[in-house]
Amino acid sequence: MEPGTFRAVLGQFCTGVTVVTACLDGEPVGFACQSFSALSLDPPLVVFCPSATSRSWPIIARAGSFCVNVLAANQAEVSAVFGARRTDKFDAVAWNWSPAGAPVLDGVLAWVDCTVDAVYPGGDHHLVVGRVDSLEAPGAGQPPLLFHRGRYTATSDPEPWFGWSHPDDWI
């Protein structure tokens, strides 16, 4: 299968944009990640898929825990910082510590603190399952940063549709 065709077809699926962070030996690490999803409500599990060539993922794996930062529509620049191969990522953004000791970026819609539960091979990526330890949605109600057809986009209507009235109905 042609990689360009694969990317173009799957690019029709809109994803949220996150930054996965951790801290090992006092040094924060993180990367931009679009492949993030809720996996299970009971037990509370999430999943993300770092590239097999990621320089950040091996450090996060050794840390054993991580925080997923869900970006708001006005945080495209934050995504660009964490999507680049640079060493000063955490100097370029404001952040604080999560309860488990991973960086929480300022202004995010939500953050999810997790312990690495399992890691599976997935072609040129890994599939990482995280057990949720704590979470918060400080920016709830703001529009999310989205990625669609190779570029950032956002919606100005964060309200649910199709008759869903409560977030519990979405799962």
CA distance 104 to 65: 13
In a domain, 111, yes or no: yes
Comparing 3-17, 51-65, 86-100, 148-162, the range with the smallest average pLDDT is 148-162
Contact 96, 103 (CB under 8 A): yes
In a domain, 123, yes or no: yes
pLDDT higher than threshold 70 for residue 128: yes
In a domain, 3, yes or no: no
In a domain, 169, yes or no: no
Q: Indicate the average pLDDT of the chain.
A: 90
pLDDT higher than threshold 90 for residue 93: yes
**Residue (of 35, 40, 103, 111) closest to 72 by Cα position:** 111
Question: Residue 125 belongs to what H/E stretch?
Answer: strand 125-136
Banded model confidence at residue 163, pLDDT cuts 50, 70, 90: low
Burial class (CB within 10 angstroms; exposed 0-12, middle 13-18, buried 19+) of 133: middle
pTM of this prediction exceeds 0.85: yes
Banded model confidence at residue 169, pLDDT cuts 50, 70, 90: low
Domain span at residue 124 reads 14-156
Give the pLDDT confidence score for residue 154 in this predicted structure.
Answer: 78
Could you tell me the maximum CA-CA distance found in the chain, to the nearest angstrom? 48
CATH number of the CATH domain containing 135: 2.30.110.10
In a domain, 110, yes or no: yes
Question: Residue 18 belongs to what H/E stretch?
Answer: strand 18-24
Total count of domains within the chain = 1
Give the pLDDT confidence score for residue 39 in this predicted structure.
Answer: 97
Report residue 120 CA to chain centroid gap: 18
pLDDT digits (tens, 9 = 90+) for 21-53: 999 999 999 999 989 999 999 999 999 999 999
Give the pLDDT confidence score for residue 149 in this predicted structure.
Answer: 83
Strand partners, 33: 18
Beta strands in 35-109 (DSSP E): 36-40, 45-48, 65-70, 95-97, 103-105
pLDDT higher than threshold 80 for residue 157: no
Give the pLDDT confidence score for residue 165 in this predicted structure.
Answer: 52
Q: Evaluate the omega torsion of the peptide bond into residue 43 and state whether it is cis, within 30 degrees of 0.
A: yes
pLDDT higher than threshold 60 for residue 92: yes
In a domain, 170, yes or no: no
In a domain, 4, yes or no: no
pLDDT higher than threshold 90 for residue 105: yes
